[in-house]
């Protein structure tokens, strides 16, 4: 799909499909098809393929070619099945025009156009739109970090609220799955922050970043650095909550094993008594007495009770 935008006053509006593409200030390519790639190529702009965008070498993500600046970042978004993934997005800065290429749907690309006039950089030029998109992406990543922090707080409360009470295994399993999802999300956020920081550093070294935009670039770089510190803190919390959850699972399993062991030990003395009277030797005087059977039963119960009281006295139960 191809979305073209042009400024109208101080706002950014979408152009119609029949309007000339050459007049667009921002061209957003989402899962572009060959005709759309050809239309952009007619403007003198080569559109990278998904394979090119997925290359991890810095030289393939940040470079200048034929007077165009190519910057590829990796940010969270949704695929066609509405599943959360992390995918590459390429920003192509041409003279008087910005082209973005993406194969998934990051939320900032859906919300930026409506509030482009309210962002710090503005939207009068392609460079301002680029920095405005970076600001929108950074804000979205901050929201994800806040949500991840709240989720970890919720899991921590559910794990540590037991106060000696048994925690249901279903709750522990759900907590472990939730922490795992948050760990995966934080990994994607950290990768996004890293690639955004590199893209801003590359942009700041080009001649496109004039004196008017340089303070915006420095401010966004500081914000990203602060978010990286917070993301590292949350990653440590993920490790802590994971260890605590696994510890609670081990304690629950140990308690179950202890109960089984105690029950087995309680039945050992009665089993010994029953084994003795099951030998059927010729000279066992209790076998011929009427009180022999009740006495054996009482002896088995008494031995089990004595074992139980011994465990209680030792505080093993």
Those residues with Cβ within 8 angstroms of residue 299's Cβ, 6 or more apart along the chain or in another chain: 273
- Per residue in 207-230, pLDDT (tens digit) is 776 677 888 889 999 999 999 999
**Average pLDDT of the segment spanning 197-211:** 82
> What confidence tens digit (pLDDT) does each residue in 24-33 have?
889 999 998 9
pLDDT at 43 over 70: yes
The DSSP annotation for 114-128 comes to GGGGGSSS-SSSHHH
pTM: 0.78
> Is the pLDDT reported for residue 305 higher than 80?
yes
Tokens (6 digits) for 201: 């550093």
Please check whether residue 61 is in contact with residue 71, taking contact to mean a CB–CB distance below 8 angstroms: yes
Confidence at residue 317, expressed as pLDDT on a 0 to 100 scale: 65
- Give the pLDDT band (50/70/90) at residue 163: low
Looking at residue 164, its pLDDT comes to 53
State the average pLDDT over residues 128-153.
Answer: 91
CA 156 to CA 159: how far, in whole Å? Answer: 5
Angle at Cα 205 formed by Cα 204 and Cα 211, nearest 5°?
A: 55
27 vs 293: which has the higher pLDDT: 27
**Roughly how many angstroms between the first and final C-alpha of the chain, as a whole number?**
67
The Cα-based distances of 270 to 221, 229, 284, 298, 304 in angstroms read 75, 63, 18, 10, 6
Between 182 and 10, whose confidence is greater? 182
Task: Give me the pLDDT at residue 102, please.
Answer: 93
Which pLDDT score is estimated for 162?
60
Residue 148, pLDDT > 60, answer yes
Angle ∠(250,186,180) on CA atoms, nearest 5? 25
Where residue 191 falls among pLDDT bands split at 50, 70, 90? Answer: very high
Residue 87: what pLDDT?
Answer: 92
- Long-range contacts, 179-185 (Cβ 8 Å, 24+): 179/152, 179/155, 179/238, 179/241, 179/242, 179/245, 180/242, 182/148, 182/151, 182/152, 182/234, 182/238, 183/235, 183/238, 183/242, 185/76, 185/84, 185/144, 185/148
How far apart CA 151 and CA 256 sit, in angstroms, is 29
The tens digit of pLDDT for each residue in 72-127 reads: 999 999 888 888 889 999 999 988 889 999 999 999 988 888 887 777 777 788 88
Q: What is the mean pLDDT of residues 30-44?
A: 90
More confident position, 163 or 271: 271
Nearest to 222 by CA among 286, 287, 99, 138: 138
Who's near 134: CB < 8 A, 6+ residues apart? 196, 199, 200, 220
Q: What is the mean pLDDT of the chain?
A: 85
């Amino acid at each position: 799909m191809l979305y073209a935008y042009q400024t109208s006053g101080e706002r950014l509006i979408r152009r119609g499909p029949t309007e000339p593409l050459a007049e667009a200030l921002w061209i957003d390519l989402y899962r572009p098809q060959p005709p759309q790639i050809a239309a952009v190529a007619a403007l003198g702009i080569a559109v990278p393929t998904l394979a090119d965008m997925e290359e991890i070498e810095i030289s393939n993500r940040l470079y200048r070619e034929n007077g165009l600046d190519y910057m590829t970042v990796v940010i969270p978004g949704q695929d066609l099945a509405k599943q959360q993934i992390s995918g590459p997005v390429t920003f192509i800065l041409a003279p008087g025009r910005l082209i973005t290429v993406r194969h998934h749907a990051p939320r900032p690309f859906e919300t930026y156009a409506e509030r482009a006039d309210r962002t710090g950089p503005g939207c009068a030029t392609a460079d301002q739109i680029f920095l405005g998109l970076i600001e929108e992406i950074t804000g979205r990543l901050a929201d994800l970090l806040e949500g991840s922090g709240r989720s970890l707080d919720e899991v921590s409360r559910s794990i540590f609220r037991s106060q000696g009470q048994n925690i249901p295994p279903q709750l522990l399993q759900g907590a472990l799955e939730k922490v795992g999802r948050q760990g995966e999300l934080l990994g994607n956020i950290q990768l996004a922050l890293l690639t955004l920081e590199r893209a801003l550093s590359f942009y700041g070294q080009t001649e496109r970043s004039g004196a008017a935009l340089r303070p915006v670039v420095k401010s966004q770089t500081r914000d990203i650095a602060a978010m990286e510190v917070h993301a590292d803190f949350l990653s440590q919390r993920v490790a802590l909550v994971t260890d605590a959850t696994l510890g609670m699972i081990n304690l629950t399993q140990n308690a179950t094993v202890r109960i089984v062991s105690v029950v087995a030990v309680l039945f050992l003395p009665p089993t010994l008594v029953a084994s003795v009277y099951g030998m059927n030797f010729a000279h066992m005087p209790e076998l011929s007495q009427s009180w022999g059977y009740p006495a054996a039963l009482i002896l088995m119960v008494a031995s089990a009770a004595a074992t139980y009281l011994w465990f209680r006295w030792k505080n093993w139960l």
